[in-house]
Chain A
Amino acid sequence: MSNFYNEILTDHNMHPVHKHELAVCTCSREGVNPSCGDDITLNLRIEGGIIADGSFTGSGCAVSQASADIMLDLVIGKSIDEAERLHALFMKMIRGEADDSELEELDEAAALADISHMPARVKCAVLGWRTLGESLPER
């Protein structure tokens, strides 16, 4: 019996750090998984090419909620380029293609690596990241 619901995941789900409204934000975008009812809004404050702050609101399964929270941990304070790079890394991990050093870079997000074996849950794990990808300004 595997234990996919590890402490990192349950902790971010129960006590998300970034789940709140954002008073000042430069971009706010909704991400939805219609079939499971996951529905989040990602808020970002981008200043001078840097993600100065970010938050999310909404509801969904533990995987979608924890993944969004972990993602914000990773990208807040990073440049847009760096966030793009992490986004690409995360997607690579979800496809089961990331190597150990790449997993290390993803830090806590690597707790979701096993999801590559659960096709039905992939869309939950990527919801936050997908919404981030859509939120970042085109360069």
Chain B
Amino acid sequence: MPYFDKRDFPVFDAMPGLVYLDSTATSQKPKPVIDAVSRYYREENANPLRGLYGLAVKATDAYENARTAVRDFIGAASEREIVFTRNATESLNLIASSYGRGNIRQNDEILVTISEHHSNFLPWQILAKEKGARLKFLKCGENGEYTPEMLEKALTPRTKIFAAAQISNVIGRLNPIKEFAEICHKNGTVIVCDGAQSVPHIPVNVRELGVDFLAFSGHKMFAPMGIGVLYGREELLEQMPPFLYGGEMIEYVTLCGATFAELPHKFEAGTVNAGGAVGLHAAIDYISEFGFAKLEKREKELTRLLIEGMKETPHVRIIGSDEPDDHCGIVSFTIDDVHPHDIAAIFDESGIAVRAGHHCAQPLHKYLGVQSSVRASAALYNDRRDAELFLECLKTIRRRMGYSE
């Protein structure tokens, strides 16, 4: 029985005292996940979907069972809607490349929020350039919020795609994706949801949300690196051409053509990451066993501790809202006169891992008029003590950089 705290995560044995507050970049991995991957490679490894012998059947089962687990986890209608990719970035590129190329024409509009991660921004920028379409930005309000009214105003009859993160990796605020999806569909606009930061932290149900596409990465939700998911509504995936070509995604190949495999394998060319999928399956089980209710409660408490302490610290400026409940475990901030890289280096001297930079969201930083920021983020394994050590160090930073207070 897992403990659902630091004890489940071997990295904290290897680095005792580590205060890891960078789970937004990638999460640490619990024993059940590491063990499941290890067991797969020890006992069930063969090339899935290919061999006709017993071991290959086992490998195929392990891989396809993982797909079923993902389907259930995000409430998709069928396994045909679940495509395994390397990560959220690849999923988003797949949509832009396969759906986008086939459906975007000159003078069409693609709308993205100003706070999108480069992974949900560059593929659309490239697509727009290629097709002579217009890329437009939905700008957030003062507290990092996007409202249905803002979206309604920004859509035009030409808007073919709206791409938005459910939770921004900088602002940390939960966006009203369900309302967005309704508005988009009334307008004939396809909605692409980047779930990289939401799927690990809140229950996400694609049918309740009504999104057309959802992308996320396993490694941010306790699974290994190199496994990601693309969810797409079946009727959309059905009409899309393959993304990559090669083995395992075809039905017949002749010298002059090929017919492609059924969904979802049409989009999974080449040997797949079965070990990663098994790890993702174990990660889903781990999260489900703990339950989102407890997970969210713990992350909320930590966020509250962090934000309240930060608000008490002079010269600290939080990006987005001042309300802890608007942050979903992600808090980005700046400190007057101290460069984020120096802040992160000082935290590191105290054994505290935080991220500094533009967090792959340069357009947002530019819009907010800050060059870069520091980000602390919480996950299931963080505890009160982590927050206290973080705040203790935070309070010393300006002094350590030579300022009197």
Contacts and interface: CB of A to CB of B under 8 A. Distances in A.
B339 A61 contact: yes
Contacts of B345: 4-5, 63, 118, 121
Contact of B349 (A3, A10, A60, A62): A3
Contact of B339 (A35, A60, A118, A120): A60
Given A11-B402, A35-B357, 15 more contacts: A1-B349, A3-B400, A5-B400, A7-B402, A10-B400, A13-B401, A14-B401, A14-B403, A37-B358, A37-B371, A60-B339, A61-B341, A63-B341, A63-B342, A124-B341
A127 to B, nearest CB: 12
B357 A36 contact: yes
11 contacts: A1-B351, A4-B345, A5-B401, A36-B372, A60-B339, A61-B340, A61-B341, A62-B338, A62-B401, A120-B341, A121-B341
Contacts of B357: 35-37
A56 B98 CA distance: 48
A95 to B, nearest CB: 20
Contacts of B351: 1
Interface residues of A, number: 22
Interface string B326-367: 000000000000111110011001110000111000000000
A14 B402 contact: yes
Interface of B: 338-342, 345-346, 349-351, 356-358, 371-372, 400-403
A2 interface: yes
Interface string A102-129: 0000000000000000101100100000
Leading 7 A-B pairs by shortest Cβ distance = A10-B402, A61-B339, A61-B341, A37-B371, A62-B342, A14-B402, A61-B342
B341 A4 contact: no
Contacts of A124: 341
Contacts of B356: 36
A5 B342 contact: yes
Contacts of A36: 341, 356-357, 372
A62 B358 CA distance: 17
A3 B401 CA distance: 11
Q: Give the one of B338, B341, B345 with max A CB within 10 A.
A: B341
Interface in A1-33: 1-5, 7, 10-11, 13-14
B354 to A, nearest CB: 13
B177 to A, nearest CB: 31
A33 to B, nearest CB: 9
Nearest to A59: B371
A61 to B, nearest CB: 4
A8 to B, nearest CB: 11
A13 to B, nearest CB: 7
A36 B402 CA distance: 22
Contacts of A13: 401-402
Q: Give the one of A3, A10, A11 with max B CB within 10 A.
A: A10
A14 to B, nearest CB: 5
Contacts of A4: 345, 349
B341 A2 contact: no
B350 A1 contact: yes
Contacts of B342: 5, 61-63
A37 B402 contact: no
B72 to A, nearest CB: 39
A120 B403 CA distance: 25
Contacts of A2: 349
A44 B108 CA distance: 50
Contacts of B346: 5
Contacts of B338: 62
B372 A10 contact: no
A63 B343 CA distance: 11
